[in-house]
Amino acid sequence: MDSDHKFLMTRIAGGDKQALAALYRALERPVYRFIVSRLNDPHEANDILHEVFMDVWRSADRFEGRSKVQTWIFGIAYRKSIDVMRKRGRMDLTDESFDMVDDSPDAVTCLAAGQEAEHVRHCLETLKDDHKSAITLAFYQDMTYGEIAEVAGVPEGTIKTRIFHAKKLLLRCLSGRIERGVA
Amino acid sequence: MMTRDDLNTLLPFHANGTLEGAELAAVDAALETDADLRAELAALQAIRATMRSEEMQSPGDLGLARLLRVVEAETAIAPAPVAANDNVVPIARLRIWQIAAAVVFAVGLGINMLPDGTGTPEMESAMSEDAAPAAEQGFALASGGSADFTVIFAPDATEAAIRALLLEAGVEITSGPSALGLYGLGLLESGRDDAARSILAASEIIDDLQ
């Protein structure tokens, strides 16, 4: 798949608009989903998605092929959504807002049984942006920690730390909600 | 030798199937003997499945049409061969022509890029599986309402700006873009024809209003 994307990037660098359209069709949905998960605003995400692919069009010739095309494009989306959040003035949401802490596996495994989408959505929103991004890339996009580090522009160790904390906080939040029977 | 924290850190990557080699072997070995770790892995797999099952409506072909429209407009700014005076096209006509070219091109892609053998093999293989249904939808919106106005948006109009304008004027997009880049707009129940028309006419992101 990545060799196909790299082929398209070469064509885009040469000004091929059909190749741009093909790459857009291949990656639009996951990139959009990632942006929405960060910004929580589908309309604003539309504009950022547009800007991301305009950047792809304008700077395809600077893509050196050392990373996956998908990783490179997610990196653009990551930086653009950071810009938006900075403008909004909300970079760090609290991740210490849980009033009940219980990360026992028994409570956590209740997740497998019920309608938990609302719980997961809620708990993801309580995470700090960096934590949420790392978990989102790991679970929505199935990226390796090395790829996530590339997207975020940080060392792999930083991503491992973020994932460690994000997972812990996510499980605590979910356990707390399940224990309390939050609908 | 991995610590429990190391194993905990790697567990999400076991859940998403990207763990390999020695790290995968170490986590697998620990899972065999540690019931808590197995429970946590099950929870992470459930979270991942829940996240991935959420439906999301992306911009799809409308987003692609917008992208190609702007790309086309940017490309058109590049120096062109010098033309004789009698070939000069009025600016307003030129912009419509550019938009039409972009949209016709986009519609062509919608047909030619279908994975039915009509596109180039390389590009077909580069399309994701879930992108194919979007390609089949074409560019017509399916709201079905009749149009009270017909407009062409400026090539650089953003989604946010268009949304704000539609809300202000009390209209919604009922069709489009056509091959000429035309959008049909219908009045919402609360909207008034004369008020909407004057708001649309005064907007900088409307290139043409009928």
Per-residue pLDDT reduced to its tens digit, B100-110:
444 444 444 44
Closest to B177 in 3D by CA, of B73, B71, B62, B68 = B62
How close A88 gets to chain B, by Cα (Å)?
A: 15
**In terms of pLDDT, which residue wins out, B25 or A2?**
B25
User: Can you tell me the distance from the alpha carbon of B132 to that of B193, in angstroms, rounded to the nearest whole number?
Assistant: 39
Confidence (pLDDT) at A40 = 87
Amino acid at A138: A
Interface probe with B: pick from A10, A18, A35, most Cβ of B within 10 Å: A18
B133 contact residues in A (CB cutoff 8 A):
none
CB contact at 8 A, A159 and A149: yes
Confidence (pLDDT) at B63 = 93
**In terms of pLDDT, which residue wins out, B86 or A142?**
A142
Q: Do B16 and A167 touch (CB under 8 A)?
A: no
CA distances from B79 to A56, B69, B76, B89 (A): 22, 18, 8, 15
The C-alpha angle with vertex B184 and arms to B182 and B186, in degrees rounded to 5, equals 160
What's the length of chain B?
210
CB of B2 less than 8 A from some CB of A? no
User: Can you tell me the distance from the alpha carbon of A158 to that of B207, in angstroms, rounded to the nearest whole number?
Assistant: 49
Which residue in the set A15, A36, A116 is minimally distant from B50, CB to CB?
A116
Residue A176: pLDDT over 50: yes
Q: Do A54 and B113 touch (CB under 8 A)?
A: no
| Helix (H), strand (E) counts: chain B | 9, 4
Q: Which residues contact A115 (CB under 8 A, 6 or more apart)?
A: none
User: Can you tell me the distance from the alpha carbon of A132 to that of A164, in angstroms, rounded to the nearest whole number?
Assistant: 12
User: Can you tell me the distance from the alpha carbon of B72 to that of A83, in angstroms, rounded to the nearest whole number?
Assistant: 26
Q: Which residue's entry shows tokens 């129940």?
A: B189
Confidence (pLDDT) at B64 = 94
Q: What is the mean pLDDT of chain A?
A: 84
**In terms of pLDDT, which residue wins out, B187 or A23?**
A23
CB contact at 8 A, A163 and A135: yes
Residue A152: strand, helix, or coil:
helix
Residue B121: pLDDT over 50: no
Q: What is the mean pLDDT of chain B?
A: 72
B51 contact residues in A (CB cutoff 8 A):
120, 124, 136, 139-140
Q: What is the pTM of this model?
A: 0.62
Q: Which of A57-61, A120-124, B1-5, B138-142 has the lowest mean pLDDT?
A: B138-142
Residue B157: pLDDT over 70: yes
Residue B182: pLDDT over 60: yes
Pairing of strands B171-175, B183-187: antiparallel
Confidence of residue B128 (pLDDT cuts 50, 70, 90): very low
CB of B204 less than 8 A from some CB of A? no
Convert the pLDDT of each residue in B11-39 to its tens digit.
Answer: 999 999 999 999 999 999 999 999 999 99
Residue of B nearest to A7 (CA): B122
User: Can you tell me the distance from the alpha carbon of A139 to that of B15, in angstroms, rounded to the nearest whole number?
Assistant: 8
Q: Can you read off the two tokens belonging to residue B209? A: 């209003």
Amino acid at B92: A
CB of B106 less than 8 A from some CB of A? yes
Residue B9: strand, helix, or coil:
helix
**In terms of pLDDT, which residue wins out, B94 or B144?**
B144
Phi, psi of B173 (to 5 degrees): -75, 125
Confidence (pLDDT) at B159 = 78
Closest to A45 in 3D by CA, of B8, B159, B30 = B159
Q: Do A174 and B43 touch (CB under 8 A)?
A: yes
CB of B114 less than 8 A from some CB of A? no
Portion of chain B with pLDDT greater than 70, in percent: 64
Instruction: Compute the average pLDDT of residues A150-179.
Output: 90
Closest to A46 in 3D by CA, of B57, B127, B54 = B57
User: Can you tell me the distance from the alpha carbon of B17 to that of A56, in angstroms, rounded to the nearest whole number?
Assistant: 29
Q: Do A116 and B17 touch (CB under 8 A)?
A: no
The C-alpha angle with vertex A147 and arms to B29 and A163, in degrees rounded to 5, equals 60
Confidence (pLDDT) at A53 = 97
Confidence of residue B145 (pLDDT cuts 50, 70, 90): low
Convert the pLDDT of each residue in A134-159 to its tens digit.
Answer: 999 999 999 999 999 999 999 999 99
Residue B149: strand, helix, or coil:
strand
Confidence (pLDDT) at B113 = 41
Confidence (pLDDT) at B26 = 94
Q: Do A19 and B72 touch (CB under 8 A)?
A: no
Residue B118: pLDDT over 90: no
Mapping DSSP onto H, E and C, the string for B67-113 reads HHHHHHHHHHHCCCCCCCHHHCCCHHHHHHHHHHHHHHHHHHHHHHC
How close A121 gets to chain B, by Cα (Å)?
A: 8
Q: Do A167 and B106 touch (CB under 8 A)?
A: no
Q: Which residues contact B98 (CB under 8 A, 6 or more apart)?
A: B72, B73, B76, B155
Q: Do B163 and A43 touch (CB under 8 A)?
A: yes
Confidence (pLDDT) at B19 = 95
Confidence of residue B132 (pLDDT cuts 50, 70, 90): very low
Which residue in the set A43, A57, A120 is minimally distant from B51, CB to CB?
A120
Q: Do B53 and A117 touch (CB under 8 A)?
A: yes
Q: Which residue's entry shows tokens 């953003």?
A: B158
CB of B129 less than 8 A from some CB of A? no
Q: Do A117 and B50 touch (CB under 8 A)?
A: yes
Interface probe with B: pick from A9, A35, A139, A178, most Cβ of B within 10 Å: A139
Q: Do B128 and A25 touch (CB under 8 A)?
A: yes
What does DSSP assign to residue A105? Answer: H
Residue B79: pLDDT over 60: no
CB contact at 8 A, A69 and A55: no
Q: Which of A13-17, B58-62, B137-141 has the lowest mean pLDDT?
A: B137-141
Q: Can you read off the two tokens belonging to residue B60? A: 């799809």
Confidence (pLDDT) at A75 = 95
Residue B126: pLDDT over 60: no
How close A72 gets to chain B, by Cα (Å)?
A: 16
A56 contact residues in B (CB cutoff 8 A):
none
Convert the pLDDT of each residue in A10-60 to its tens digit.
Answer: 999 999 999 999 999 999 999 999 999 889 889 999 999 999 999 999 999
Amino acid at B205: I
CB contact at 8 A, B103 and B65: yes
DSSP percent split of chain B into helix, strand, coil, nearest 5: 60, 10, 35
What's the length of chain A?
183
Confidence (pLDDT) at B74 = 83
